Amino acid sequence: MNLIHALIFGIVEGITEFLPVSSTGHLLLTAKILGLAQTEFLKTFEISIQLGAILSVVVLYWRKLLVNFEVMKRIAAAFIPTGVIGLIFYKIVKTYLLESASIVIWSLLVGGIIMIAFEKWREEKPEIPEQRLEDLPYKKCVAVGIFQSLAIIPGVSRSAATILGGLYLGLNRKAIVEFSFLLAVPTMLAATGVDLIKNFSAFDVREITFLAIGFITSFATAILAIKFMISYIKKHDFTAFGIYRVAIAIIFLLAALLK
């Protein structure tokens, strides 16, 4: 890895973390395009730079995240199932799933098809009135956390799983998108914290510099991505993201066949 690689990874992470397209999947495919092997450092790097994107949520939503106790309680309720499942499967994900480009590609493809079909099904549903995050039922918050746990499979997308899950549960589109942003904070802090504690002492100064560059770049681009997403959902559904996922998956499948 070099400085340019770190910048590219940071941009990819920041843009994709809060869009329903799988940031982890895009980072794995980016590494493949750049010809970088999935070393222990690269795996940790891909997980750790998510902290930059998470900081952008704290900066933009600090009142709801750090001051509004009712919202905090609902985020905590949603995080519990994700945290438990993540701890159980951490080793399997880090050792096996984060090395498989094929899992990412098929997850993008299947997830994209599901997203398109889901939005087609929802066309006949009446518009859900606007909801306040502090009024969301706890049962639904926990259910969203269970949906989020599906994202331990690279390529599924944490935001896609939570957003579609929330919409299926009857939550308003804006409410579940913002809830997904906030739920990312404890989820990614936990995942990144565990990984950094286990591996940080093994990194040299040069690798720590790469982590810093990826962190800063992902933070800056994530702020733009969040603002785009909030603006986008006011007039559009998620069909375009589903089409994008399918297109990316097909491109990589064809590239693999043509080798």
Closest by Cα among 159, 162, 102, 108 to 136: 162
Q: Is the pLDDT of residue 223 over 80?
A: yes
> Do you know the residue count of the chain?
259
Structure tokens at 187: 């989820």
Task: Return the minimum-mean-pLDDT range out of 12-16, 67-71, 205-209, 225-229.
Answer: 205-209
pLDDT of 126 > 80? The answer is no
Alpha-carbon distances, residue 178 vs 95, 156, 159, 182 (angstroms): 32, 19, 10, 6
> What pLDDT does 192 receive?
78
Q: Is the pLDDT of residue 91 over 80?
A: no
Residue 164 is predicted with a pLDDT of: 93
In this structure, of 59-73, 92-106, 126-140, 215-229, the range with the lowest mean pLDDT score is 92-106
- High-pLDDT (> 70) share of the chain, %: 92
**Angstrom distance (rounded) from CA 91 to CA 96:** 8
- The amino acid sitting at 231 is S
Report whether pLDDT(191) > 80.
no
Whether residue 125 has pLDDT greater than 80:
no
pLDDT bin (cut points 50, 70, 90) of residue 205 is confident
- What was the pLDDT predicted at 98? 63
pLDDT tens track for 154-179: 888 889 999 999 999 989 888 999 99
Quote the pLDDT of residue 127: 65
The CA distance from 175 to 133, in Å, is 6
Both tokens of residue 59? 């900066």
| Percent of the chain whose pLDDT exceeds 90 | 46
pLDDT at residue 259 in the model: 66
CA-nearest of 108, 125, 98, 89 to 44 is 98
Mean pLDDT check: name the lowest of 103-107, 114-118, 157-161, 254-258.
Answer: 254-258
Q: Which residue has the tokens 């920041």?
A: 14
Cα 131 from Cα 3, distance rounded (Å): 43
Q: Looking at residue 200, what is its pLDDT?
A: 67
Q: What is the model's pLDDT at position 238? A: 92
Element spanning 59, H or E: helix 50-60
Q: How confident is the model at residue 124 (pLDDT cuts 50, 70, 90)?
A: low
pLDDT score of 99: 64
User: Are 158 and 184 in contact, with CB atoms under 8 Å apart?
Assistant: yes
Q: Tens digits of per-residue pLDDT, 16-50?
A: 999 999 888 898 889 888 988 877 788 788 888 88
pLDDT confidence bin for 202, thresholds 50/70/90: low
Task: Identify which of 52, 3, 16, 8 has the alpha carbon closest to the alpha carbon of residue 32.
Answer: 8
Q: How far apart are CA 90 and CA 113, in angstroms?
A: 27
The domain locations on the chain are: 3-257
pLDDT range class, residue 101, cuts 50, 70, 90: confident
CA 76 to chain centre: 18
User: Of 17-31, 175-189, 191-205, which range is least confident?
Assistant: 191-205
